[in-house]
Amino acid sequence: MKKLIYFVITLCAAGLAASAVMAQQGLPPDQKLRIAEMIVADYYVDTVNQEKLVETAIKSMLEELDPHSSYSNPEETKELNEPLQGNFSGIGITFNMNRDTLYVIQTVSGGPSEKVGIMAGDRIIMVNDTSIAGVKMKNSDIMKRLRGPKGTKVDVKVLRRAAGASDTIDFRITRADIPIYSVDAAYMADPITGYIRINRFAAETGEEFAKAVKELRRKGMQQLILDLTDNGGGYLNAAVELLGEILEPGQKAVYTEGRQSPRYDFRAQPKGKNSLLGNDRLVVMVNQNSASASEITSGAIQDWDRGVIVGRRSFGKGLVQRPFPFPDGSMMRLTVAHYYTPTGRDIQKPYKQGEGSEYRKDILDRFHSGELMHADSIKYVDSLKVNTLKSGRIIYGGGGISPDLFVPLDTTAFTKYYRDVVAKGALNQYVVGYVDANRKALKKKYKSDDDFVKNFTVTPEMFEALYQTAKAEGVEPNPEQAEISKPLFELNIKGLIGRDLFEQSTFYKVFNIYDPIFKEALRVINSDEYDSILNGNSN
């Protein structure tokens, strides 16, 4: 083989002769690719970056396949894996960038920053010897400076405002492992209904879910709303583990099958003798951005008549990617199989190989076709009709999980003015400034987030201050559109203030008051319609 490659390259100066030799030898495609790369590296008129050349070839090759096979360089691979692995090493803060300044929203309880005395409202203006304030540094570049190996130290300079004055304080922080939580919120929506929101399916999701369920049980939970809206998925095993606490022990949760991947059935296995939810009522919230592991979860629950699915048809990502890591830390994620729900429904929506751009337009196409606003715009194919495994009610395959109760996308309050205010960062900037100026007074007035959610009101003066902040950022005033978007401004102002004062759950306590999918979920879980749907008697 070495002699062959040498012979081909030697003849490369005479291009026609080289081509003739390759044709005569009948080179396999993989050898042809390697030889082509060597020829370019040795004979191209200018110096080439071989590493970049190879990466481009891999990416181009994968683009000819399905929309989910992909390549990531070492840095991208690390960024992809961190949210799913459940932790990273850093200083333990949640922050916003406000006018090119890092503003601390919260410190992680028990984390490195809290231990040295950094507080919500502090502004980190320097990391080691590098100024990060007022220099328009990317968030990713700032995180690189704050994160690092466990046990290493980082010096930060903080600007703290208190009692009308400002002071700078130097801190030395020892980095530690910081947990990344996949449960955004867990609270009691009413005296008997718990609510849990999961943002991704990561390594610790099953454990987080179990902990949340047990805590809500102590508060009186007898039924659960599980929010998977905008959850793009994650680990298959995390979804199966969660289903172990929802389905009956031994029930099929999902199965995978591919050309070189024999069928494999994943079954529900609770950590204890029985599942944590038992026979409690369950409603699952999904939308067009719920994908992959979210669809495995909601699909299994629907197939087994275990709960009611509320919202809009999910994304339709049912391809299994197997990671193939390279020694340099880069990784290729290659599709090797399909996900199927227990009834045999293929979760993956249709696609054409090599047409990724068309595939990525699918959600926009759904919007233009009216599917996101009208249930009767969803096109079902009779040949893809199946029956659920207990009551035998009719459900459909064809890509994504279609809800039992459709909730239209509400765009009535969305305007160009609202979009521009958010896009320019004016909303976030106003909230940061408001909390900064009123934190002590707000904490004194509202003793808990429940008190805040119940009693805090966004005043006309606050709306006007927001509009003035937007104007200063170059967003032209539009009183008519501002009035139309007032509900959206109100929920975001209140929700973000609540999050900055208390915790992430506070935002969802506010947001869900307005959210049509949540309101429908809460309605149906407390009505006789719940049993009617699962028994196949609904119209």
- The confidence score (pLDDT) of residue 377 equals 79
Residue 440 catalytic? no
Cα–Cα dist 291/229, whole Å:
9
Q: Among 288, 321, 429, 485, which one carries the catalytic annotation?
A: 321
Q: Which tens digits make up the pLDDT trace of 210-227?
A: 999 999 999 999 999 999
Q: How many helices (H) does the chain have, and how many strands (E)?
A: 21, 21
Residue 321 catalytic? yes
Whether 95 shows a pLDDT value over 70: the answer reads yes
- The confidence score (pLDDT) of residue 165 equals 64
Q: Which domains does the chain have, with CATH numbers?
A: 87-179 (2.30.42.10), 183-406 (3.90.226.10), 416-521 (no CATH)
Cα–Cα dist 153/151, whole Å:
7
Cα–Cα dist 475/486, whole Å:
16
Residue 429 catalytic? no
- The confidence score (pLDDT) of residue 505 equals 93
Q: Which tens digits make up the pLDDT trace of 153-203?
A: 999 898 887 656 678 888 889 998 887 789 999 999 999 999 999 999 998
Helices 29-43 & 2-10, crossing angle to 10 degrees?
50
User: DSSP class of residue 331?
Assistant: E
Q: Among 317, 348, 494, 509, which one carries the catalytic annotation?
A: 317
Three-state SS at 308: strand
- How many degrees, rounded to 5, is the angle at CA 448 between CA 444 and CA 450? 135
pTM of this prediction? 0.85
End-to-end CA distance of the chain: 69
Whether 9 shows a pLDDT value over 50: the answer reads no
CA–centroid distance for 461 within its chain:
35
Question: Region 361-387: what's the mean pLDDT?
Answer: 85
Whether 446 shows a pLDDT value over 90: the answer reads yes
Whether 87 shows a pLDDT value over 90: the answer reads no
Q: Among 251, 292, 298, 314, which one carries the catalytic annotation?
A: 292
Let me know: does 499 contact 105? Beta carbons within 8 Å: yes
Confidence of residue 262 (pLDDT cuts 50, 70, 90): very high
Instruction: For residue 192, list its beta bridge partners.
Output: none
